[in-house]
Amino acid sequence: MSAFESDLNIGSSAPAAGGQGFSLQMFGKPTIVLAHLAFKAAALFFYFFANFITDSFIVQFLLILIFLSMDFWTVKNITGRLLVGLRWWSFVDAEGNNHWKFESAKDNDRFPAMDRRVFWLGLVVGPLAWAFFVTTAFLTFKFEWMIVALLGAAMSLANLYGYLRCRWSDTNQLTSYLSKWAFLNVLRRQQQPQPQPFQQNI
């Protein structure tokens, strides 16, 4: 067993059964799930409310950058490995060439479905939120905030791309998956009963 496979059970706990409503006990690794979402939420929250907390743009920028860096590092090195069994990293060989490695656990059933859903949800929502902030800053001519939002979008997109490469080893597999997903969605919509047109009885 590789070192990557042997480290996947860190922080695991059995989810409680029979719970009602939302609870951290729904997750197999509740503390890791919180770590996955906490820094994202902190960066987005501070970006939105920064002017209510401090008037210094330098302080605002530094705090958002710290949250973004902590989120990037946590997602890349901890939560991806423990919540979905994926890891991406790079190394430089003796000749100075940079190599990228994208690893995936062999058995995905060991990771609870709820943990996996939250991981991918956070991974996708983050870039979408930052893209919205980029657009808003551009339309309101706040170009200094657009740069901050672009930084957040770039860092979150880097993690999203890395984990998509881990999940699908090449772009052909990803394209095939997206095509099948789109086809199945269209098929489901066509199979749904269509509403009958209004008929007036005379």
3-state helix, strand and coil shares in percent for the chain, rounded to the nearest 5? 65, 5, 25
> Which mean pLDDT values do the consecutive 10-residue runs of the chain (202 residues) have?
60 50 79 95 94 92 96 96 93 87 86 93 96 96 95 96 84 59 69 59 50
Token code pair at residue 50: 């920064």
Of 191, 187, 189, nearest to 179 by C-alpha is 187
Q: Which amino acid is at 199?
A: Q
- Residue 169, pLDDT score: 65
Residue at token pair 């990293």: 89
Q: How far is CA 59 from CA 56, 64, 151, in A?
A: 5, 9, 16
Burial readout 71-84 (b: 16 or more C-beta within 10 A, e: otherwise): bbebbbebbbbbbb
User: Where are the chain's structural domains?
Assistant: 3-170
Rounded to the nearest 10 degrees, the angle between the axes of helix 113-139 and helix 30-53 is 20
Of 117, 160, 131, 126, nearest to 26 by C-alpha is 117
> Torsions phi, psi of 63, nearest 5?
-65, -40
- Residue 20, pLDDT score: 53
Burial readout 108-141 (b: 16 or more C-beta within 10 A, e: otherwise): eeebbeebbebbbebbeebbebbbebbeebeeee
- Residue 105, pLDDT score: 87
- Residue 44, pLDDT score: 96
